[in-house]
Amino acid sequence: MPVTMKEYLLHEANIAEEVLNIVNAVILVMDRDGRIILFNKAAESLTGYSFEEVKGKCPWDCFILPEEVDGVRSVFAQLTSGDFPNSHINHWITKAGSHRLIDWSNTSITGENGAIVFIIATGIDITDRKDAEQEIEKYQKNLELIIAERTAELNHANEQLEIIARIDGTTGIYNRRYFNEALETEWRRAMRTQGPISLMMCDVDYFKNYNDTYGHVAGDKCLKIIATTLDNAINRASDLVARYGGEEFAIILPGLDSTKAMELANRLIGEIRGKCLPYTSSPVGDVVTLSIGVATMQAEEPENHVAILSAADKALYKAKMQGRNRAQQYSADT
């Protein structure tokens, strides 16, 4: 039996309705005034409203948050004027009162005169995805904060390790390791500038006997006072005072000639003696004293920085041999 046109159209309508109801997306069709004329099963499931409950009503009268109504009306006005935003997002309020975030895509159906008669809106519930994104963003921010804190802690720890690696724990001045690095650096700089470089090796006179007499605690305190005195007496930023080992101190003096180096050495000896640190059993007096060997050179070969160290050490040895509590300038016959 032939199918009539009415039956065909009814069949087509039923197929269209079935398609609308099996898709997971929210679909609603509105007339030019925004009244709902179709509300699929997914929309019913999401909102908790049946089609009969919303039929003939506008979405902003049923689902839209009050603070978003003006924005939704503005989008709808654009749609009916033929200006289609690619998409827009707004919240829907369900019958139970919960809020869902919907991402919309829109299209239209026009009449014979080309005027828009229906708006078809297709929406995807992105609430869970958005919540997950916000949680991820929150987690990332927390993670960034934790990483920043850990990085700051690590940097601080590295700074402390660097200090420990460079600073002598007893005296608070630079240690021998840093002195060796600094001497090599300053020697190379002196090679470039073609200027002199002076080095002092200082030794606390009869310090072993001082420790035996007053004890190691007093000995450490004495070394700290001497270190501080030497460090404070050096005025130029380029100069460096370090504990070389035991009761020995070393002073690097870039750009200082032999005459000025000897003047400084004698002043340092006077300042240490002027501290009047008691040492009644000292063979050279009743206070702690210092012997200093001074060497001044023109830097030539990169590896020869050890030569000035050896020269200052020889001068110190001669100062000790000549009675201590004095400064001695290095010369070839020292």
Tell me the β-bridge partners of 88: 104
DSSP code per residue over 221-256? HHHHHHHHHHHHH--STT-EEEEEETTEEEEEEET-
Task: Respond yes or no: is residue 247 known to be catalytic.
Answer: yes
**Chain centre to alpha carbon of residue 324:** 52
Write out the two tokens for 331: 């010369």
Burial class (CB in 10 A: 0-12, 13-18, 19+), 128: exposed
Identify residue 187 by its one-letter amino acid code: W
Question: Contact 168/249 with Cβ under 8 angstroms?
Answer: no
Q: Number of C-alpha atoms within 13 angstroms, CB side, residue 265?
A: 35
DSSP state of 200: E
Q: How many CB atoms lie within 10 A of CB 282?
A: 20
Write out the two tokens for 324: 């201590």
- State how far the alpha carbon of 108 is from the alpha carbons of 6, 94, 114, in Å: 25, 25, 11
Question: Contact 68/86 with Cβ under 8 angstroms?
Answer: no
The one catalytic residue in 247, 263, 301, 303 is: 247
Of the candidates 194, 181, 300, 303, the residue with the CA atom closest to the CA atom of residue 252: 181
Indicate which residues carry an active-site annotation: 247
